[in-house]
Each structure stands twice: as C-alpha cells, then as structure tokens.
Amino acid sequence: MLSACLFFVSTSYSQLKGKCVDEFGNGIAYVNISIKGTSIGTVGTVKGLFSFKNSLLKENYSLIFSHLNFEKKIIKNQLELNSIQLISKVESLKEVIDSNEKKIKEKITGSKTKTKMILVNFLSKSLGTGIGKKIEMKKIKI
C-alpha cells in the first residue's frame, strides 16, 4: 500500500515532457499543444520542447499537436513522450494572378476596443511551460 501511495505522489508531481520534431529530426518552434476537450494548452519552445504537469492530465486524455506548417497529430494516453514527429503540410495553389486593374482603398480591420489586463499562470519563466486558459472578454466601447 505504501508503494502505491508513493507511485501516486510521484506521478502527480512529475511532468510529461517531450520534443516536437520534423521528418529530419529538427525541433519545430512554437508548436501548439492542448489537452483535448479542455481549455488547457501550452506552446513549445523555439527548439520544440514542451512540458505539462501530470496533475493537469485526466485518466483518458488526448494531446493535440498543431502547427501552421504541419499536419495536426493527436496522441492518446501516452505517459512517455520522447519526440513527437509531425509531418510537413504542403499546400499548393493552382494559379496566382497578379493584377493592378483596381486600386484597393485602405481601411482599418478588426475592432477598436481596449481590454483590461489578463493574468495567466506559468509553471516557470521558460517558454513552453505556460498554461493557457480561454477567457471570455466583454467589449468596451472607446
């Protein structure tokens, strides 16, 4: 019974660590990693490293790895993640037309609002250990 308690304590305080790499084994910078079905996620470092506290992971969990230049990958219930290989995503265009026929009028896009300060928790000062949480913001007219 003591060994079971020690196992529980050690896994609850340990971290799930890994590295996102491309087909050539190079680290992929700033990969988005999220826990499926939650608003919890993090971003990998410039070298592709990431970590999660095991206490954030539920019994049956899936990690979603996504990046603009790579195919999305989902890993289920895996406690040891050495390196996660992502496949390059190639998008080709059939045709590109460059035309100067019509002048486009410049305009402002987006919303003209100010937001109040948002406090976010980080495991450490290192990039890749931040825990993001989806926050609903009210619009304030200026």
Residue-averaged pLDDT of the chain: 76
Instruction: Summarize pLDDT for 108-118 with one digit per residue, the tens.
Output: 666 666 655 55
Confirm whether 33 is domain-assigned. Answer: yes
Confirm whether 51 is domain-assigned. yes
Q: Is residue 125 part of a domain?
A: yes
Judge whether residue 2 has pLDDT over 50: no
pLDDT score at 100: 72
99 within domain boundaries: no
Torsion of CA 109, 31, 44, 115, to 10 degrees: 20
Q: Which domain holds residue 15?
A: 1-89+106-142
pLDDT confidence of 132, banded at 50, 70, 90? low
Specify whether the CB–CB gap between 75 and 62 falls below 8 A: yes
If one counts the domains in the chain, the total is: 1
DSSP string, 39-77: S-EEE--TTSEEEEEGGG--SS-EEEEEETTEEEEEEES
What's the pLDDT band for 81 if we cut at 50, 70, 90? confident
Return the pLDDT at 128. 60
Give the CATH number of the domain where residue 25 resides: 2.60.40.1120
Both structure tokens of 59: 């019994």
What pLDDT, on the 0 to 100 scale, is given for residue 61? 85
pTM beyond cutoff 0.75: no
